[in-house]
Amino acid sequence: MTNPFKPTAGRIPPILVGREEIIEDFDYALKDGVGSPGRLMFLTGARGVGKTVMLDTLGTHAQKQGWQVYNESADSGFTQRLVDSLTGKDTTRISAYDMPSVGLTGNTGNLELSLGRIELERKEERSLTLRQAVGKRLDKMNENRQGILITLDEVQSGSMDEIRAMSTAVQHLIREGRNIAFIFAGLPSAVNDVLSDNAITFLQRAERYHLGSVPTEKVLKAFEESFSGEKKAGMETLIRLTNATHGYPFMIQLVGYWAWRVSETNGHVNQVTEEDAVKGIEKAQAKLGDMVHAPALHGLPSHAVNYLLAMSVDDTVSNTGEIARRLNRSPQFANVYRTKLIENDLIEPVGYGEVAFKMPYLRDYLREHGAYLQMRENISERSEN
């Protein structure tokens, strides 16, 4: 029997645990018709919590209703890529539309002003091209029954210009009463950065869903179901596996996958023993480090990593004043990084002046890799000086 667990980023899991509410809200928005608030949505959450999977899942739901779905990642050039796929690659550049000409017409003496105008026109151009591409595609569909869903993953402020252009396009399309929906996803701090831009007040009104861990009862149910066919596991083992996930979605796949795989290696065709489970959990933890913790830490400012390293010394909660002392920084300075780490679901406030790790196994990872991380940090500081 093949392993039913799939610890692969962005892959829809065989059993999607605990996201019923968002799915229901989105299904409702699809049926609710043009202008329904649930058709404009932001999904945020830590790495590996299942944002990409949700985009795909909601996309599948839209497709089932006869909608066309376009998925993009918000790196440079995404507006053009969207236009390309909406127009079936016959890249309808702006010149094909009846647009005011772009150029240094007239005032060549004031170059700066003209360049500023070009930038502005480029943004308007982008937004109009996208708006028209969506409009034209919808014109070819039965818009009473079909719509267009665009999903944008990995939203980050590096692509602000294009996101502004997209926001304008979305605003116009909604105002025109077109049958559309947009879902954006990104890390919480990245989405907050994007939404603080004044040029996209329109998008600030989108519905926001913060994806967190899922209830462990639901994880247990999913494990019970997965280990009820040819390969079984006793209740004690199932509970052990469940607890090891801490309800964190990526860990559900990793734990399930490795418990299954270790049982195969140990020749236990029809069952997962306690011993298999213990070994599987160990493997899953190590993989979580490589697949989630390492990239998550890599994306953080070095002071934030130092904050985490300072916390990893403690066995349970950490005192924020003490952390600042360990870092040899003022409490105000340390607080900036504390806030960022909380925002990204890596740590959480647990009491007055206290924080704790929220991302499962991050403390263990830091303890194991702390020396290495510190060394990398010292090297980069030296090369900056």
Ligand X SMILES: Nc1ncnc2c1ncn2[C@@H]1O[C@H](COP(=O)(O)OP(=O)(O)OP(=O)(O)O)[C@@H](O)[C@H]1O
Nearest residue (CB) to Mg ion, 51 versus 329: 51
In angstroms, give the least distance from the CB of 185 to Mg ion: 7
DSSP state at residue 69? E
Amino acid present at 264: E
The region of 131-139, 202-210, 249-257, 353-361 touching ligand X under the rule CB under 6 A is 249-257
Closer residue to ligand X, CB minimum distance, 42 or 324: 42
Q: Is 38 in the site for ligand X (CB under 6 A)?
A: no
Q: What is the number of the residue whose Cβ is closest to ligand X?
A: 50
Nearer to ligand X, 43 or 83 (CB): 43
- Min separation Cβ 295 and ligand X, Å: 7
Contacts of 50 (CB under 8 A, 6+ apart): 19, 211, 249, 250
Distance CA 184, CA 214 (A): 21
**Is 16 one of the binding residues for ligand X (CB under 6 A)?**
yes
Q: Under the criterion CB under 6 A, does residue 300 sit at the interface with ligand X?
A: no
Contact 143, 103 (CB under 8 A): no
In the complex, what is the shortest distance from the CB of residue 8 to ligand X, in angstroms, rounded to a whole number? Answer: 5
Applying CB under 5 A, what is the total number of residues that bind Mg ion? 2
How many whole angstroms separate alpha carbon 250 and alpha carbon 263? Answer: 20
- Taking the least distance from each CB to ligand X, the nearer of 52 and 242 is 52
Do residues 65 and 144 touch, judged by C-beta distance below 8 A? no
We find the least distance from the C-beta atom of residue 92 to ligand X, in angstroms, to be 31
Does residue 52 bind Mg ion (CB under 5 A)? yes
Residue nearest to Mg ion (CB): 52
Residues in contact with ligand X, counted by CB under 6 A, come to a total of 24
The reply on whether position 318 binds Mg ion by CB under 5 A is no
Q: What part of residues 199-218 is at the interface with ligand X (CB under 6 A)?
A: 214
Does an H or E element contain 268, and which?
A: none
Question: Interface with ligand X by CB under 6 A: which range of 15-23, 172-180, 334-342, 358-366?
Answer: 15-23
Binding ligand X (rule: CB under 6 A), the pick from 59, 249, 280, 289 is 249
Min dist. Cβ of residue 193 to Mg ion (A): 17
CA distances from 206 to 41, 70, 185, 216 (A): 5, 19, 12, 29
Q: Which is nearer to ligand X, 10 or 37 (CB)?
A: 10
Interacting residue with ligand X among 29, 41, 48, 79 (CB under 6 A): 48
Look up residue 191 and give its two tokens: 């989405």
Query: Applying CB under 6 A, does 6 fall inside the site for ligand X?
Result: yes
The three state secondary structure string of 165-234 is HHHHHHHHHHHCCCCEEEEEEECHHHHHHHHCCHHHHHHHCCEEEECCCCCHHHHHHHHHHHCECCCEEC
Question: Packing angle between helix 302-311 and helix 320-327, nearest 10 degrees?
Answer: 120
Residue type, 133: A
Adjacent-strand bridge partners of 40: 182
105 vs 74, 102, 108, 110, 328, CA distance in Å? 33, 8, 7, 11, 57
Quick one: which of 26, 38, 44, 51 contacts ligand X (CB under 6 A)? 51
Q: Which is nearer to ligand X, 52 or 237 (CB)?
A: 52
Rounded to whole angstroms, how far apart are CA atoms 385 and 278? 47
Pick what 253 binds: ligand X, Mg ion, none; C-beta below 5 to 8 Å, kind-dependent. ligand X
Only segment of 13-21, 114-122, 132-140, 366-374 that touches ligand X (CB under 6 A)? 13-21
> Where does this chain bind Mg ion (CB under 5 A)?
51-52
Binding residues for ligand X (CB under 6 A) = 6-11, 13, 16-19, 45, 47-53, 214, 249-250, 252-253
